[in-house]
Amino acid sequence: MYKSEQLAHSLKLLIENGTWKAHEKLPSLRQQVEQSGLSLITVMNAYQELEAQGLIYSKEKSGYFVVEQNSDHPTTLHVINETVEINSVVFKYLKSTQSEHIIPLGSAFPNSQLLYSAKLIQTLGQLARQRRSYEQTPSLPPGNYQLRKIIAQKYAMQGIPTDPSDIVITSGGLDALNLSLQALTQAGDYILLQQTIFYGAWQAAERLGLKVITIPEHPEHGIDLDAFEQAILKYPIKVCLMMLNGQNPIGFTVSDEIKLKLAKLLNQYQIYLIEDDVYEELYYDQKKPLSMKYFDQQNWVLHCSSFSKILGAGFRIGWVYAGKFSEHIQHTQLMSTLSVNSFIQNALVEYLSHRHYEKHLKTLRSTLQRYKKQYFNYLKTHLPEQCHVNYYPSGYFLWIELPEQVDSNEIYQHMLEHGVSVAPSSLFNISNQQNHFIRMNCSFEMNEKIQNALNQLIYIIGKSVRS
Ligand SMILES: Cc1ncc(COP(=O)(O)O)c(C=O)c1O
């Protein structure tokens, strides 16, 4: 045994036998060096080993602390203490699938043909001829007042009292998430993520140097509230970032009952939630699912959304219901993007004020529902029986579970060679334990080209399952 392992082992015993209690501070590295006579590097290695085992955690400039042990509930949390590293994987993936010749079944964007709105194009044309649409000043942070008013009214219609001053317009949903996270955290802080989540959340954690605790998905409820509470009791988590409606990549929507319980926990433990709700309009049921903001009586939720999934990501218009963090977020905006495109903000004000928008949403939802059902039926019929296709009534993704021994990264590589992209689960889950899932974009009409692509996928998966 190395000296560092020996030290880690003896410290571990002190934690396990309760000599050191939950959240108690460990001797500093310097004190430990003095006490043990070991070198600084050996002591550091031992502490890092304990941190990796989830027994201790570090707080910037404060030292190391004991993690709370909970023996009633087996630990299912995943701790990523090192800096998150996913951006280069995502970058490589996006580059490899960017060509217009690739059939984009792995894309996060909905089929742009479905987003095309003649009325919006007409509005853009009309505004392009008016000088006032180019005025910059009214669109500076927090963004166009009329646009914020329309967004505030949409919240109010869902029973969420909102003032335009609560809203900050951002360059899409991703910018809203990043700005919110930046407003609430500092490098080295712990945040909580769902184990499998949109890679943008991981990229934001990487960019801001945050440590990540993940909780597993609950097979029935989507969110595992026990794991959530356990994580909060064990780690000094200030902020969580989650998707509760049409979750990307899996697709589930969390029930109102669970959302209400989650809101109570946020309030009880004083934890902020950044809610990523960019798929909020793509539900298939009669009623739009409520956001966590609805259940949030004490302002612990920052709700982020955008028009990207319904009008096109190219417009780059999103927003955050920032409440008291509005000013903080505007400060950060002024140092980075300055303002969101003023011409597009003006055009959206015009377009959203008319009934065409609601009509567009209705058509979009029913088309996506029809396409997704077709893909689902086809895959369910033709994939090997060991595969499971998860279907949820919202959005345009299917989440396909392959047998555990099948590596979805290999499937992605093979499909790419045949000019088709699919999204492997390693883009959404960095634990390296869930490599057997694929996210499929079903927003393209099931024509011969798509059917050939699906047949190729079915063939490649079948081969991997048999080998
Ligand atoms: C879950 C999720 N959040 C945020 C975004 C980013 O949205 P936007 O294009 O509005 O920045 C995406 C885009 O794919 C997404 O899937």
Q: pLDDT tens string for the chain (467 positions)?
A: 688 888 888 888 888 777 788 888 899 998 888 888 899 999 998 988 888 788 888 877 788 888 876 645 444 677 766 667 788 888 988 988 889 999 999 999 999 999 988 999 999 999 999 988 888 888 999 999 999 999 999 999 999 999 999 999 999 999 999 999 999 999 999 999 999 999 999 999 999 999 999 999 998 999 999 999 999 998 999 999 999 999 999 999 999 999 999 999 999 999 999 999 999 999 999 999 999 999 999 999 999 999 999 999 999 999 999 999 999 999 999 988 888 999 999 999 999 998 899 999 999 999 999 999 999 999 999 999 999 999 999 999 999 999 999 999 999 999 999 999 999 999 999 877 789 999 999 999 999 999 999 999 999 999 999 98
- Asked if 255 contacts 230 with a C-beta cutoff of 8 angstroms, the reply is no
Cβ neighbours, 10 Å, residue 94: 15
Buried b (16+ CB within 10 A) or exposed e, 38-71: beeebbebbbbbbbeebbbbbeeeeebbbbeeee
What's the rounded Cα separation, in Å, for the pair 164 and 172? Answer: 18
Ligand 1 pocket test: which of 278, 337, 340, 427 has the largest number of ligand atoms within 8 Å of its C-beta?
278
Using an 8 Å Cβ cutoff, are 221 and 242 in contact? no
Of the candidates 288, 289, 242, 290, which has an alpha carbon nearest to the alpha carbon of residue 265? Answer: 242
- 214: tokens are 């993940």
Integer Cα distance of 421 and 55 in angstroms:
40
Distances (CA, A) of 405 to 114, 202, 384, 422, 427: 37, 25, 14, 18, 18
User: For residue 198, which atom of ligand 1 is closest to its CA?
Assistant: 1
Give residue 304's region: left, alpha or beta (phi > 0; psi -120 to 50): beta
Q: How far apart are CA 397 and CA 443, in angstroms?
A: 8
Which pLDDT belongs to residue 82? 63
Integer Cα distance of 328 and 345 in angstroms: 21
CA of residue 173 to ligand 1 center, whole Å? 5
Expressed in angstroms and rounded, the spacing between residue 278 Cα and the centre of ligand 1 is 6
Q: Quick: pLDDT tens for 357-389.
A: 999 999 999 999 999 999 999 999 999 999 999
**CB 369, CB 360: distance < 8 Å:** no
Residues 297 and 323 sit within 8 Å (Cβ to Cβ)? no
In angstroms, what CA-CA distances link 334 with 181, 328, 397, 410?
A: 16, 10, 35, 43
Cα 292 from Cα 255, distance rounded (Å): 10
Q: What is the pLDDT of residue 295?
A: 98
pLDDT of residue 89: 86
Helix (H) or strand (E) holding 90: helix 87-96
Quote the Cα angle for 296-300-306, to 5°: 80
Give the model's pLDDT for residue 74: 47
How large is the greatest C-alpha to C-alpha distance in the chain, in angstroms?
Answer: 77
pLDDT single digits (tens) 397-424: 999 999 999 999 999 999 999 999 999 9
pTM of the predicted model, to two decimals?
0.85
Instruction: Tell the residue nearest (CA) to atom 7 of ligand 1.
Output: 173
Backbone angles phi, psi at 465, to 5 degrees: -65, -40
**Residue 248 CA, ligand 1 centroid: distance in Å:** 9
- H or E stretch at 191: strand 190-194
Distance between Cα 340 and ligand 1 center (Å):
16
Q: Which residue has tokens 């024509």?
A: 447
Distance 174 CA to ligand 1 centre (A): 5
Candidates 68, 75, 26, 64; CA nearest to 235 is: 68
Residues with CB under 6 A from ligand 1: 108, 172-174, 198, 200, 243, 248, 276, 278, 306, 308, 313, 318
Instruction: Say what the pLDDT of residue 452 is.
Output: 98
Rounded Cα–Cα distance for residues 5 and 292 (Å): 45
- Mutating to test ligand 1, I would choose from 177, 198, 310, 341 the residue with most ligand atoms within 8 A of its C-beta, which is 198
User: Are the beta carbons of 399 and 466 closer than 8 angstroms?
Assistant: no
Q: What is the pLDDT of residue 62?
A: 82
Give the neighbor-by-neighbor strand order of the sheet with 397-401. 388-390, 397-401, 437-441, 423-424
CA of 190 from ligand 1 middle (Å) equals 23
pLDDT at 58: 83
